[in-house]
Amino acid sequence: MESIILIGHGSPKKDANKLELMGKMLHSMLHAGCTGDCVKVAYLQFAEPDIMGAIEECARGGAKKIILHPFFLSAGMHVTKDIPGMIKEAEGLYPDVKFIYTEPIGIHEKLVQIVMERIDSADKLVPEDIEKRSFEIISEETDFSAIPVEQWPIIKRVIHATADFEFKKTLVFHRDAITTGLNAIKAGKTILTDIEMVKTGINKRWLERWGGKVVCAISDEDVIRTSGETGKTRAEIAIERGLSDSTTGIIAIGNAPTALLKAIEVLKNTNHSSSAAHSSPLVVGVPVGFVKAYESKVMLAAQSFPFITNLSRKGGTPVAVAIVNALLKMAGGGDKK
């Protein structure tokens, strides 16, 4: 029985010790279809398992030959002295096992090719290019011809944020949704969110040219206090209070169905004292979950005021943020289709 041990240096930074992935790749190439533990990894320091521990595990597993490869670029002291010293000690402990110690990676023409690829990738894969190519892939992999053109940028950005093409089928738009959203942005209206994560994800740089702002009151002390006194969720209390502001132009709800139900309750009541009830802001309602999320979105889809929602359990912060950011990009003249 033969075992292979890949030896890395190891780092105090735990997430830098990822030699296991290389071990799995090597195993799949050398022993395709094998379910055994033929290839192991070990670290010289800072991480586990250490080299002697990996050798012991192989020997106890019945290995009669252990191949050790130093995953190092050059033959420094670790490669030429420290590791060979450990192998010599192991030979004394396991005289029936044959040990083979390979050269380090060293200088190889394929390494030059890798460096060239990294340079080429770094030069090309700037964030803007990555996003552009992602949108191209989305357009190549699905047919949008049956969907109104003005909805394409929003649907594509949601798919881009979630990698889920199902949103093409489940997103639902009120006939005035996009126009209302764009007008609100250009008028510098406030964007009201149910949770801080949605607020954080909205692109402030795209918004600032219009003089708008994003607000979320869920962590306000009076909201927390009122929630404790009334038993209502902080999200619904915060949304209702936010709707009292006449500058609210877009309501973005990605998490809390109770917030969406409260927004619907307020906005469909034209006699409500809330200022927003008389201005018909756009409601982006896409809460995620199994309790009231789908039901709240079905209710939203039946309203006469402007909305964008998706009729499924899926949704969440990334979807709400993607919709608002798509509108912001469209308002600035980008993402036309």
- Summarize pLDDT for 142-191 with one digit per residue, the tens: 899 899 999 999 999 999 999 999 999 999 999 999 999 999 999 999 99
Q: In this structure, what token pair is assigned to residue 287?
A: 């809460």
Instruction: For 136-154, give the DSSP string.
Output: HHHHHHS--TTS-GGGHHH
Domain housing 236? 133-331
For range 88-114, the mean pLDDT:
90
Please give the Cα distance from 110 to 112 (Å, whole number): 5
**Which H/E stretch holds residue 108?**
none
Cis peptide before 49 (omega within 30 of 0): yes
Catalytic choice (9, 31, 78, 160): 160
Residue with tokens 């973005």: 252
User: Residue 249: pLDDT band by 50, 70, 90 thresholds?
Assistant: very high
Tally of domains in the chain: 2
Nearest to 38 by CA among 26, 50, 21, 49: 26
Question: Residue 283: pLDDT above 90?
Answer: yes
Examine the domain organization and report whether 137 and 104 are in the same domain: no
- Percent of all residues in the chain with a pLDDT value above 90, rounded to a whole number: 66
Please give the Cα distance from 20 to 335 (Å, whole number): 41
Question: Left (φ > 0), alpha (ψ -120 to 50) or beta: where does 62 sit?
Answer: left
Examine the domain organization and report whether 238 and 275 are in the same domain: yes
In a domain, 116, yes or no: no
pLDDT at 28: 87
Examine the domain organization and report whether 180 and 250 are in the same domain: yes
Which DSSP state fits 254? S
CATH number of 284's domain: 3.40.50.10230
Q: 3 Cβ partners below 8 Å, 6+ apart?
A: 38, 39, 40, 58, 61, 63, 65, 66, 67
Examine the domain organization and report whether 182 and 316 are in the same domain: yes
Examine the domain organization and report whether 96 and 150 are in the same domain: no
Please give the Cα distance from 293 to 317 (Å, whole number): 13
174 is catalytic: no
Q: Which of 110, 145, 179 is the last residue of a domain?
A: 110
CATH number of 27's domain: 3.40.50.1400
Examine the domain organization and report whether 169 and 261 are in the same domain: yes
Average of per-residue pLDDT values in the chain: 90
